[in-house]
Amino acid sequence: MSMTTQHRFQLWGWILFVFSAIFFMVSSLRAGDLASLVGGLLFLLACFVFLAPLLAELRASTNNVSQRPNYSRFLPAWSRAEILQWRAPGAPMKLPVLAHQQDQIRRHQVRSELRFFASTR
């Protein structure tokens, strides 16, 4: 089970606890018991305290899921240029690099590292 699903189950559990605290306070008001009413208020407050970080985690996890993966190296250059226009506002502009140029850069980095290690022996 994913973390988002677990967070949603926990959220529904805490919502049910909040409703039970409200009904507990209503029944204590009908009975006229002040101690039960204070206990219900404290229980309701505790539910909200535990609910706050859960909502923050759930909000953060749903924001991370909405990000799309980057498959731009498999696309032609004109398509990558269009994808760059879809970037988030304020994100730094990256110029499209062709897939074969990325491979050449990677090979050059490996060769220069090998030369460095060979020269240190």
| Residue pLDDT, tens place only, 35-69 | 999 999 999 999 999 988 888 887 877 666 545 55
Which runs of E-coded beta strand occur in the chain?
none
Q: Computed over its alpha carbons, how large is the radius of gyration of the chain?
A: 28
Kindly list the domain boundaries of the chain, sorted by start residue. 3-65, 72-119
Q: How far apart are CA 108 and CA 102, in angstroms?
A: 10
Contacts of 116 (CB under 8 A, 6+ apart): none
| This prediction's pTM | 0.48
| Residue pLDDT, tens place only, 74-92 | 555 555 555 555 566 666 6
Q: How far apart are CA 120 and CA 30, in angstroms?
A: 85
CB–CB of 37/28 below 8 Å? yes
| Cβ neighbours of 62 (radius 10 Å) | 12
State the Cα angle at 56 between 15 and 50, rounded to 5°.
45
